[in-house]
Amino acid sequence: MIRTIAEIRDEAVGELSSERQQQLEQFLTPMPVAEQAASLFSYTNTPARILDLGAGTGILGAVTASRLVHGTRVVAIEQDQILAEYAKASLRQVCDDVRIINASVFDVLLEPEFTRVILNPPYKKIKPMIIPTAGGGVKVTNLYAVFLAIAIQALAEGGECVAIIPRSWMNGEYFKDFRKWMLAECSLDALVVYGSRQEHFKDMDILQEIMLLKVSKRPQTNRVLIYDDASPAMPLSEQHSIEVPLDSLLLGRDRILRVQQQDERLADFEPLCNRGMWVSTGKLVWFRNRDILSLTETADGYPLYWSDNQCGSVAKHPVECNRPQWVTEEVTNRNILLPAGSYCLVNRFSAKEQQRRIHASYIASPVNFAADNKLNYIHSGTSRTTVPLDDAVARGLTLWLSTSIIDEWYRQISGSTQVNATDLRQLPCPEKQQLMTLADLLPVEENLDLGKVDQVVGRLFSWTKMV
């Protein structure tokens, strides 16, 4: 009995141990997602040259080839020998001209000759490395970015690439160089963001915001096709989409990408970094400073704040938790302490399922203190110097960051669990005087009513409604 391409893929999933999957860091594409990915390619009535990079079972190359005319050629690269055999079985069902390369993508020299490149690469963090390109080296920090850079460079002029990747490349400091290179190298044609983190790879036990990305080797198209709440349950042609100019999705010099145009109500607000404020990351890395952590207050010691100290919209100290609440006086020799005064603390980690992606807390410390590396803190200084905020500004900023409009703004730029300082610096922010006025209208307290915050902010800025 001839197995279908989907059955070959499902058989491979059943035989792939969790240990091997973890080692490969590769999630085998289910048929509904493969069909959606292949559907993003432009129609052509001429044979294509397809590259399936990190092919797995070959499902992506096979679905792509099945939509094209006779004479299409497929090259599939897969380093795992067992998966390479599955890929051969899949691809030969739909294409006569198939070449399977059982090797690492790093060991294969690819010419820029492919009119279609499709990939679902490994999602694995790596030590920063430089990928050589025609325009110079590009720093990357994840294997999927390496694969995507290789894929783009394998495109013929006018060729198209579709990738199934996490959203994390769209924001943050780590992918800044890669974003700039990719946007300069090719046209960004389509972004498909899935609304759920669980539907797309149900049988692979993956919980990550995954997207489909389409780029092409040509000058930037006038408009980008966006699906901001896609589901694998139906063809993309039956789902809501919009087309928008690329410039309306980009933020700042770091080329941070949104998945929707910014809310019009935020159009007149400057980025936070243009309001005389800066976002830095807490300086205490606990495992490097074990010797100065203390469970009890010591003479000449200092308070230590963790995310545990964020009690709603107020940071409290000390609190009962399983983390030391103090650092000893030796901390003064380690460039860790922050000056006494008022700040806004923001937890560096959150998930899309939380009520608010940004968890902001007001702190007014009468003494110097330390902040854990899992916290961001907002101050009036620079990247080199920390200066406390005016107290009313700190309170008003905490309220502003707790609004639903800012929550929605952040969800549109971040697809990872990390709340990056780089992204927060681009956050639309009122003037300091407006933040002070906001602080006078509503107290910052532990059990802050977020609905009331929205109402007060809506009245302050004369908005008709708050989303």
Q: Where in the chain is the domain with CATH 3.40.50.150?
A: 5-261
**Structure tokens belonging to residue 34:** 């493969």
Using the predicted structure, report yes or no on whether residue 465 has a pLDDT greater than 70.
no
pLDDT one-digit tens code per residue, 417-435: 889 999 999 999 999 999 9
Q: What pLDDT score does 466 carry?
A: 42
Rounded distance between C-alpha atoms, residue 387 and residue 380, angstroms: 5
Q: What pLDDT score does 199 carry?
A: 58
Q: Where in the chain is the domain with CATH 3.90.220.20?
A: 266-460
Q: Kindly tell me the burial class for residue 338, based on how many C-beta atoms sit within 10 Å of its own C-beta (0-12, 13-18, 19 or more).
A: buried
pLDDT one-digit tens code per residue, 371-391: 999 999 999 999 999 999 999
Rounded distance between C-alpha atoms, residue 118 and residue 162, angstroms: 5
Inter-residue contact 345 to 377 (CB < 8 Å) = yes
Give the DSSP H or E segment for 161: strand 155-166
Q: Which residues of 142-159 are buried (b: 16+ CB within 10 A; e: fewer)?
A: bbbbbbbbbbbbbbeeeb
pLDDT one-digit tens code per residue, 94-136: 999 999 999 999 999 999 999 999 999 998 889 999 999 988 8
Does domain 5-261 fall into CATH 3.30.870.10? no
Q: Going by C-beta distance under 8 Å and a sequence separation of 6 or more, which residues neighbour residue 406?
A: 358, 400, 427, 428
Inter-residue contact 324 to 290 (CB < 8 Å) = no
Q: What pLDDT score does 467 carry?
A: 43
- Spacing of C-alpha 422 from chain mean position: 12
Q: What pLDDT score does 355 carry?
A: 81
Q: How confident is the model at residue 1 (pLDDT cuts 50, 70, 90)?
A: very low
Lowest mean pLDDT among 66-80, 279-293, 344-358: 344-358
Q: What pLDDT score does 104 carry?
A: 95
Lowest mean pLDDT among 85-99, 195-209, 346-360, 431-445: 195-209
Q: What pLDDT score does 388 carry?
A: 98
pLDDT one-digit tens code per residue, 197-234: 555 565 545 556 789 999 999 999 999 999 999 999 99
Q: What pLDDT score does 348 carry?
A: 95
Distances (CA, A) of 56 to 33, 102, 187, 209, 254: 14, 11, 27, 20, 33
Using the predicted structure, report yes or no on whether residue 21 has a pLDDT greater than 80.
no
Using the predicted structure, report yes or no on whether residue 80 has a pLDDT greater than 50.
yes
Rounded distance between C-alpha atoms, residue 32 and residue 29, angstroms: 8
Using the predicted structure, report yes or no on whether residue 464 has a pLDDT greater than 60.
no
Question: What share of the chain in percent tops pLDDT 90?
Answer: 80
Mean pLDDT, rounded, for 302-316:
97
Global pTM reads: 0.84
From 3.60.21.10, 3.90.220.20, 3.30.560.10, 3.40.50.150, which CATH number describes the 266-460 domain?
3.90.220.20
Inter-residue contact 8 to 82 (CB < 8 Å) = no
Q: Which residue has the higher pLDDT, 351 or 361?
A: 361
Q: Kindly tell me the burial class for residue 220, based on how many C-beta atoms sit within 10 Å of its own C-beta (0-12, 13-18, 19 or more).
A: middle
Q: What pLDDT score does 14 carry?
A: 75
Please, what is the average pLDDT of the chain? Answer: 92
